[in-house]
Amino acid sequence: LGLDIKDSLKFISPVYRLRMDQAGRVLAQDPSLYANIAIQNPYTNRAIEAYLKVCQNLLQTILQKDYSAFIKYFNQASKHMGDFPQQALKETNFLIKKLGEFENKK
């Protein structure tokens, strides 16, 4: 998208900051490790194809401004994950708090 990462970090929410931190962490590591994981895993192709299909469906929902379809998909995904979203909410609240403390110490 041509965004300047440093500029975008000024405007992102704490949750998206954690996502950026995760991406940055991966990109700071050995690319051959991730190449081996992706290429040697016999399920990588299926996983990426499924991901792309979901992304295409979501894109169409957004382009059509279909709020009810988006909410239905969101609720189905949440239901599929069972109790995990509530656990993840607690864990990420903790991480966001710690990230804020870390940022304030800089």
Give residue-wise pLDDT tens across range 62-104.
999 999 999 999 999 999 999 999 999 999 999 999 988 888 8
Distance CA 34, CA 25 (A): 12
Q: Give alpha helix (H) positions in the chain.
A: 5-9, 14-27, 31-40, 44-63, 67-80, 84-105
pTM of the model as a whole? 0.75
